[in-house]
Amino acid sequence: MADENGRIKSVVTDKEEIIECQVVGLTPGVSPNVSFLNDSGIELGRGIKVNRFLETNIKDIYAIGDCAEQHEPIGNRRPIEAVWYTGRMMGETVAQTICGNRTEYKPGHWFNSAKFLDIEYQTYGWVFSTSGKKTYEQHFHWRHPAEKICLTIAFDKETRQFLGINTFGIRMRHEIFDRWLNEERDVMHVIKYLKDANFDPEFYAVYENEIAAKFNLEYGTDLKPEKKNWKRIFAIG
Ligand SMILES: Cc1cc2nc3c(=O)[nH]c(=O)nc-3n(C[C@H](O)[C@H](O)[C@H](O)COP(=O)(O)OP(=O)(O)OC[C@H]3O[C@@H](n4cnc5c(N)ncnc54)[C@H](O)[C@@H]3O)c2cc1C
């Protein structure tokens, strides 16, 4: 709904609920604009169909980035991955291939980052939303009492294996989470060494002790976060 100046003032939901607001964000998703290829002979789906080598059905023609669609999705990834890290990794992969080293696209563990207004968001591994939560998945959630800062850690209910993390307002170190996912660490390891993963700039407030305290309370553990250790971070020695 608009006010008398044509500016947004509220949203009316399908339950007739009125939510007052100043800004509306629309999330229509992404559709590759590939209709110009309709008569090209290149196989299309929603995007340009590619195999694991990012090759189309026509020799020497590749597709990468937002327009590329995998025949079969890779792991939990979507067949079209419209994020810029994917475009970069696909670019590196195809560059190898066209320079003579035919290389398969292997994106590794899912990760992404974005910035919504002044809030930074990061994700490593898989944390499914409440509606899509897997039966084996348990979530630990911590939220700052006043600031827009929070994190959610997903882990396996039974084995407590770490599955993924979402953070709002805390920057994390990609290499560390990639390593912990490869090493199949448990959630207790993540809480204990969370200071190693923090990538916020110097003098930023840190919250690992509060996060560990909440985890201890909820899961009856007695974890004490280790001091940040650069040798551990860079896996030296
Ligand atoms: C508002 C917004 C916010 C985003 N935020 C994030 C984020 O926070 N994190 C993240 O990971 N990703 C984000 N993305 C997604 C990310 O920007 C894209 O995944 C990435 O840019 C895709 O790169 P690409 O090279 O595949 O395509 P593009 O960057 O779209 O490049 C395609 C290029 O092809 C050109 N082109 C199109 N048709 C033709 C033609 N017929 N002939 C010649 N040239 C043509 C276009 O002009 C364009 O320059 C965001 C996207 C949007 C729109």
The secondary structure of 82-145 as a DSSP string is -SHHHHHHHHHHHHHHHTT--------S-EEEEEETTEEEEEEE----GGG--TTEEEEEEE-S
Higher pLDDT, 115 or 219: 219
The neighbour count for residue 66, using CB atoms within 10 Å, is 19
The top-level CATH class assigned to 35-98 is alpha beta
| Ligand 1 pocket member 87 (CB < 6 A) | yes
Q: pLDDT per residue over 143-167, tens digit each?
A: 999 999 999 999 999 999 999 999 9
Q: Ligand 1, closest atom to CA 64?
A: 26
| Ligand 1 pocket member 85 (CB < 6 A) | yes
The top-level CATH class assigned to 111-233 is alpha beta
| Ligand 1 pocket member 83 (CB < 6 A) | yes
Nearest to 186 by CA among 217, 149, 150, 223: 223
Segment 184-195 mean pLDDT: 98
| Ligand 1 pocket member 107 (CB < 6 A) | no
Least confident of 43-47, 60-64, 66-70, 200-204: 200-204
Radius of gyration in angstroms for the set of CA atoms belonging to the chain, rounded to a whole number: 22
Across the chain, how many H-helices and E-strands are there? 6, 9
Burial-class residue 113 by CB neighbours within 10 Å (0-12, 13-18, 19+): middle
| Ligand 1 pocket member 66 (CB < 6 A) | yes
Measure 95 CA to ligand 1 centroid, in angstroms: 18
CA-nearest residue, atom 35 of ligand 1: 33
CA-nearest residue, atom 41 of ligand 1: 36
Residues linked to residue 166 through DSSP beta bridges, in sequence order: 123, 152
As a whole-number percent, the residues of the chain with pLDDT over 70 amount to 100
CA-nearest residue, atom 12 of ligand 1: 83
d(CA 152, CA 75): 21
Every domain of the chain with CATH number 3.50.50.60 lies at: 35-98
Q: pLDDT per residue over 199-215, tens digit each?
A: 998 899 999 999 999 99
Every domain of the chain with CATH number 3.30.390.30 lies at: 111-233
pLDDT at 237 over 80: no
pTM attached to this predicted model: 0.87
Look at strands 150-156 and 162-168 and give their pairing. antiparallel
